[in-house]
């Protein structure tokens, strides 16, 4: 009879030594497999978290897109109103300058 490549007809001590070595090898392999399983479980947990985040993002994308569009329209309106008020201020300055120059000319002519 052959046990892990060793003949079973050896002494009890040699069989115990072979079995002890085999047990140590199996314990190391079990520990290595435990580490791999732990790593895989961590990876699976990370994938689940990422999947949940992607699902939530997909659900909220239309809402976020509408909100971004509304903010862009509001910003464009503010910019347009700002431009209109800037132009009105410019026209007001030009008119007041024209009135002041007109008053100056009238004042000089009437002197």
| Structure confidence by residue, pLDDT tens digits, 4-43 | 555 556 799 999 999 999 999 999 999 999 999 999 999 9
pLDDT one-digit tens code per residue, 46-102: 999 999 999 998 999 889 889 989 999 998 888 877 777 788 888 888 889 988 888
Its domain, for residue 105, covers: 2-110
Q: By 3-state DSSP, what share of the chain in percent is helix, strand and coil, each rounded to 5?
A: 90, 5, 5
Per DSSP, the three-state class of 6 is strand
Counted domains in the chain: 1
């Amino acid at each position: 009879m052959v046990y892990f490549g060793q003949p079973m007809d050896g002494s009890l001590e040699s069989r115990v030594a072979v079995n002890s070595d085999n047990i140590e090898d199996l314990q190391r392999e079990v520990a290595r497999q435990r580490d791999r399983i732990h790593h895989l479980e961590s990876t699976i947990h990370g994938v689940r978290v990422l999947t949940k985040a992607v699902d939530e993002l997909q659900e909220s994308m239309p809402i976020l897109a509408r909100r971004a569009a509304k903010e862009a329209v509001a910003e464009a309106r503010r910019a347009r109103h700002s431009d209109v008020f800037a132009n009105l201020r410019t026209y007001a300055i030009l008119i007041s300058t024209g009135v002041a120059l007109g008053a100056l000319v009238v004042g000089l002519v009437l002197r």
